[in-house]
Chains A and B, each alone.
Chain A
Amino acid sequence: MSKDHKAQSLLDPAILLPAMRDSVLKLNPRQLLRNPVIFVTEAVAAVVTILFLRDLAVGNGQAGFSGQIAAWLWFTVLFATFAEAVAEGRGRAQAESLKKTKSEMTARRLTSNGAEENVAATSLKVGDIVLVAAGELIPGDGEVIEGVASVNESAITGESAPVIRESGGDRSAVTGGTQVLSDELRIRITVAPGSSFVDRMIALIEGAQRQKTPNEIALSILLSGLTLIFLFVCVAIWGLAGYSATILSITVLSALLVTLIPTTIGGLLSAIGIAGMDRLVRFNVIATSGRAVEAAGDVDTLLLDKTGTITFGNRMASDFLAAPGVTQQQLAEAALLASLADETPEGRSIVALATGEFGIAMPEQRFDEIIAFTAETRLSGVDRDGRRLRKGAVDSILKFAGVTDAEAPAEFRRAVDMIARSGGTPLAVADGNRLLGAIHLKDVIKPGIKERFAALRAMGIRTVMVTGDNPVTAAAIASEAGVDDYIAQATPEDKLNYIRREQQGGRLIAMCGDGTNDAPALAQADVGVAMQTGTQAAREAANMVDLDSSPTKLIEIVEIGKQLLMTRGALTTFSIANDVAKYFAIIPALFVATYPALGALNVMGLASPQSAILSAVIFNALIIIALIPLALRGVAYRPSGAASVLRRNLLVYGLGGLILPFIGIKAIDVAVSALHLV
């Protein structure tokens, strides 16, 4: 993943030490029952331990071997529980740190005796009464019980005009994170703020409450099926060996069984799932179900709001188009002077363009008079040194300059038309009654967004831009940004219908939204991401909340979902491919005494039957530990087509899984014989 916000060391002792304790606690068979592969391993380890005790008591000379096998089988189980414990520990640590950042917002809570106390916003409970004065942030969602105040809710609604909130009636609900501009409010908290999501998240990470996701269930079924098959195989071998005049001990059969069943993926499966949630948290996204994370990997269509996601959200000056007889420099200079006192984003963007690209020196800030923009005049500007510089809507400026539509130069009209057709907004500039030209204001596409969409397309994901603009503007921006489709003049119903239509075609949809009117669409979408700054309704309807309120997050969320599934797939393939080498280690070891000819299958040239079996068991245990970092990090992911991803993963984890254990088991065998362990 490209940007890990808060990279955590894999070897953080603060996580590893408690994880070691947890891994022992997790040996409780009742807990392990959730994981059939590891449960079987534990049962087998228990049986071999009993056999070891018997060997010890009888003194038949086998105790050294069966003791080591038993120990390594226990290690196999322990390594698996350790993997889960580490993943949980990291996830918990991450979520706790999240809680801390949220708690920076404080609240003035009224105690029962009427006194005031300062507490963290996250520690507020439903029913608490808080005081919020002008300039303060409302610490949580609630209801006004006393007072009238103007509140800036632009963070939620995007509407910059303050609204009145008062006790009683329709206007009593306030939202956390909004700012009181005047007066003071007494608010009763109605929703446990922010932290409720974090708490839900922690519950998803903790083993006990963790629900298996649909894909995890399907994979568990595959793994259980394989475990059953290998159980048949091992029981059958015992019978077949009897026919072939070989008595196989339960110890070696147990060793064979545990090496064959998919312990690698079985042991790491829950760690992979937890780590996936953890990666989301690291991106400051909180999921309310594991299912949503998985669904994110499957998404076919992304519904993206234009404003803030695809464009910066403000129209910015991109060009000066001079009228006949005027140089571009003259126009730029006039536009700059006319905008000097304009503090709107548009005005600032004109200043930036003129001083930047057109290299005009920043003039002194002195004016004879400032003419502010009003809805009636629809122009603004300054009077300075006897010049009356104005910029504004084309017809207003023409009127100001005393030019009728027909009198305006053809070149100027063509330029204005061109700007409108391309989805931009034309502004005219005049100096007194002299028309200087037009400014091209347009929505500026965020840099790099086009490449992101191309990458998504390579992954097979369609992007759809949702905008309130008219179809002409929408089409122009859509083609410039490289989205696959757009919904112009979109109403909330349009969004909902679009989602329903796509879903009927069997596609999975992700969208993000923040307003209350987005809530139905968020609920309908397969992956709905609400902005933290959004309304409570939106956050309840969504299945993820983005704490940074950045709509581009959706793209990362999809990647995390995909990476989660890929890690499972890669380790499953690896685990199954490993079995080939284990057969070549153990089968000749079991039967070479009866059929010396089978020694030909000992392609690794392992020292002795006992060391071969022990080496295979040790390899099987160690590979779990070795792969914990991969399970926690996830496999490397580059956006590209399915076929090339598969080819690469098959090569690395399929072929690698086939070859690696041959080398590993041989190396362990060399060590085992050098140390005279058997």
Chain B
Amino acid sequence: MTIVGWLQISLLFLFVAITIKPLGIYMAQVFEGERNFATKLGGPFERGFYRLAGINPDKEQGWLSYTLAMLAFSLAGFVSLYAILRLQAYLPLNPQGFPAVPADLAFNTAVSFVTNTNWQNYAGEATMSHFSQMAGLTVHNFLSAATGMALAMAVTRALARSKVSTLGNFWVDMTRATLYVLLPIAFIIALGFVAMGLPQTLDASATATTLEGAQQVISLGPVASQEAIKQLGTNGGGFFNANAAHPFENPTAWSNYLNIFSMLSLSAAIVYTFGRMVGNRRQGWALITAMAVLLIAGVAVTYWAEAAGNPILTSLGVDAAQGNMEGKEVRFGQAMTALYAAVTTGLSDGGVNGMHGSFTGLGGLVPMFLIQLGEVLPGGVGSGLYGMLVFAFLSVFVAGLMVGRTPEFLGKKIEGREMKFAMLAVLILPLVILGFTAISVMLPFAVASIGTAGPHGLSEILYAYTSAAGNNGSAFGGLSGNTLWYNSTLGIAMLLGRFAYVIPVMAIAGSLAAKVKAPASAGTFPTDGPLFVGLLIGIILILGGLQFFPALALGPIVEHFAMLAGQTF
């Protein structure tokens, strides 16, 4: 580890910290329907959409109706995306003449983009037409992110309001998230990327003559625009197979900064929005602090593990001062790769600028564990917020008992019904991840897909299901996932990870909204102070650790100790 490396890391967090408040206020204004420069400008468009779609923006929905609207919308999105992928041979903007995407891969990909996962079992430049990329995948990069934000706002309103049955209007929240937040900011970021040298063209490729005189075909396309929303919407699906390690997606240290910044900024800022909307900004900052502490710890461990290098290679004469450079781009180095790896997994982004499977045991454990913690650091835009709130409910329940009061969060009593749905939500991740992993490692044809035998192979499969269930989308590398088994089971994992999680969360929101918002007293445990932040961090770590420690012990942990013992597999 170097001072410069740490300065680089700190600089990024500083940038993000500065933008949290303005972005947070802006989003709060947008979702509360307050007037500001953007809503003044976009108002006619917004109202035009509503008239066109026949939506009454003043008619709010209850939790069930809101959730059903979200499910119907996602289903429609899935069907249309599946159709585009299957029919891309007949659709325009297909200069390379790619054939239809196979059924299982199309299912996996459609689910992947609708659930904001962006797991990619395909190489974009060799499978997807420009039309599929732009009208299919990029559209869902917007919509799946907007869906997450809309849900987060519904849950926020449940805590902000007292004794109501409605949580807002799904269609209005979707429209506002897209029109006022995602589109304009993505546009600005895309321009930034273009300025940094990312291609933005409808040409298929450029042909170059190499120094040896050979002809080389270099894939091109509308990269900058997709890259912008890929990060902003915490999607992570790259234009190219190599994702942000590819020089056209992420050419320089600055573009690397912009990449990480744009994935982190909205997810962090929406927590501030939450604090503002529930009328307790300190609560927003408390959640942000808990997220930041765990995320920075993740960055530190990865950076330390990678910088420490591999003693086995050192004994073979590799310069120990270089650390572990396997799977990393030289232009980013260990600090910026570790930062990217932790942020992309602490978020549900899933883009990568290095290969997590090539990290050391501990270095590879961190990204996996950060996803397993529930994608709340700060998680996907919107989805991270409501995930974190579930942990807050659990923490408050334990804390409330320990101070001798029925637990309360922001004045809302957390009782049996809330606990039931919170536990249902929490159960999804271990059930899906451990279940599918255990089944896969026992099936010979599933094991055949792994790239490396031994504990590393287990890590590859574990990581794949972790990434899918957490709606992250990053891959460990090594696993050939484009098989019928992985396409379908990973697809199911993604669906469960998104919808089986959010339905109970919305049920909690419905139940909380109907409750009285009780005023705080000295007997109420304050949920916006350092003690609560500490407790929240503890609960997240203990819960995550208890669920996944045995599985991790057989994968990255045994790899780590074996490496220290000089043992290979």
Contacts and interface: CB of A to CB of B under 8 A. Distances in A.
Contact of B553 (A563, A577, A601): A601
Interface stretch (A78-86, A376-384, A613-621, A646-654): A646-654
Contact of B524 (A214, A563, A642): A642
Contacts of A653: 402
Contacts of B363: none
Contacts of B538: 654
A573 B402 contact: yes
Interface stretch (B151-159, B378-386, B428-436): B428-436
Interface stretch (B117-125, B221-229, B404-412): B404-412
Interface string A513-549: 0000000000000000000000000000000000000
Specify the main secondary structure of chain A where it touches its partner. helix
A587 interface: yes
B405 A507 contact: no
A232 B399 contact: no
Interface in B530-548: 531, 535, 538, 542, 545-547
Most chain A CB atoms below 10 A, which of B404, B529, B535:
B404
B416 A506 contact: no
A418 interface: no
B405 to A, nearest CB: 5
Contacts of B281: none
Interface in B412-467: 414-416, 418-420, 423-424, 426-427, 430-431, 434-435, 437-439, 441-442, 447, 455, 457-458
A283 interface: no
A359 interface: no
B531 A643 contact: yes
Contact of B535 (A564, A645, A650): A650
Interface in B386-410: 394, 397-406
B531 A647 contact: yes
A225 B403 contact: no
A236 B550 CA distance: 9
B569 to A, nearest CB: 10
A562 B401 CA distance: 9
A74 to B, nearest CB: 25
B21 interface: no
A294 B402 contact: no
Interface in A542-597: 561-566, 568-570, 572-573, 576-577, 579-580, 583, 587, 591, 595-597
B551 interface: yes
Contacts of B524: 460, 642
Contacts of A237: 550-551
A235 B433 CA distance: 12
Contacts of B420: 221
Contact of A580 (B162, B458, B542, B557): B542
B424 to A, nearest CB: 8
Most chain A CB atoms below 10 A, which of B162, B426, B525, B550:
B550
B397 A218 contact: yes
Contact of B403 (A215, A219, A579, A646): A646
Interface string B454-483: 010110000000000000000000000000
B435 A572 contact: no
Interface stretch (B104-112, B231-239, B512-520): B512-520
A458 B550 contact: no
A506 B521 contact: no
A653 B516 CA distance: 32
Given A561-B404, A650-B535, A597 B562 contact: yes
Nearest to A458: B522
Given A229-B547, A506-B411, A637-B404, A243 B442 contact: yes
A300 interface: yes
Given A221-B420, A573-B398, A236 B551 contact: yes
Q: How large, as a class, is the contact surface on chain A?
A: 35 or more
A196 B554 CA distance: 61
A57 to B, nearest CB: 29
A222 B441 contact: no
B554 A506 contact: no
B558 interface: yes
B416 A233 contact: no
A459 B550 contact: no
B66 to A, nearest CB: 24
Contacts of B99: none
Contacts of B423: 221-222, 224-225
A240 B554 contact: yes
Given A239-B442, A243-B441, A566-B401, A642 B525 contact: yes
B209 interface: no
B548 to A, nearest CB: 8
B434 A300 contact: no
Contact of B430 (A229, A506, A598): A229
A244 interface: yes
Given A221-B420, A229-B427, A300-B521, A242 B442 contact: yes
Contacts of B554: 240-241, 243-244, 591, 595
Contact of A645 (B403, B434, B516): B403
A243 B494 CA distance: 24
A562 B404 CA distance: 4
B567 interface: yes
Interface string A291-304: 00010011010000
Given A244-B455, A598-B558, A601-B553, A233 B401 contact: no
A17 B20 CA distance: 64
B45 interface: no
Interface in B209-231: none
Nearest to B530: A643
Contacts of A504: 516
B521 A460 contact: yes
Contacts of A579: 542, 546
A230 B426 CA distance: 12
A505 interface: yes
Given A240-B554, A457-B522, A598-B553, A569 B567 contact: no
Contact of B519 (A239, A507, A645): A507
A598 B441 contact: no
Interface string B131-167: 0000000000000000000000000000000100000
A87 B36 CA distance: 63
B402 A649 contact: yes
A233 B543 CA distance: 12
A609 to B, nearest CB: 14
B516 A505 contact: yes
B149 to A, nearest CB: 28
Contacts of B402: 566, 569-570, 573, 645-646, 649-650, 653
Given A294-B406, A642-B526, 18 more contacts: A218-B418, A222-B397, A225-B419, A229-B430, A233-B546, A239-B437, A244-B458, A244-B554, A506-B517, A569-B401, A576-B546, A601-B561, A642-B525, A645-B402, A646-B399, A646-B403, A646-B531, A650-B402
10 nearest CB pairs, A to B = A460-B523, A569-B401, A239-B438, A506-B518, A562-B404, A225-B423, A236-B434, A460-B522, A243-B441, A569-B402
27 contacts: A218-B419, A222-B419, A229-B430, A230-B546, A232-B431, A233-B434, A236-B434, A236-B550, A239-B438, A242-B442, A260-B546, A297-B404, A298-B406, A458-B522, A459-B522, A565-B406, A566-B403, A566-B404, A569-B403, A572-B401, A579-B546, A580-B545, A595-B455, A596-B565, A598-B558, A642-B522, A643-B525
Interface of B: 162, 394, 397-406, 411, 414-416, 418-420, 423-424, 426-427, 430-431, 434-435, 437-439, 441-442, 447, 455, 457-458, 516-519, 521-526, 529, 531, 535, 538, 542, 545-547, 549-551, 553-554, 557-558, 561-562, 564-565, 567
Interface of A: 214-215, 217-219, 221-222, 224-225, 228-230, 232-233, 235-244, 260, 294, 297-298, 300, 457-462, 504-507, 561-566, 568-570, 572-573, 576-577, 579-580, 583, 587, 591, 595-598, 600-601, 637, 641-643, 645-647, 649-650, 653-654
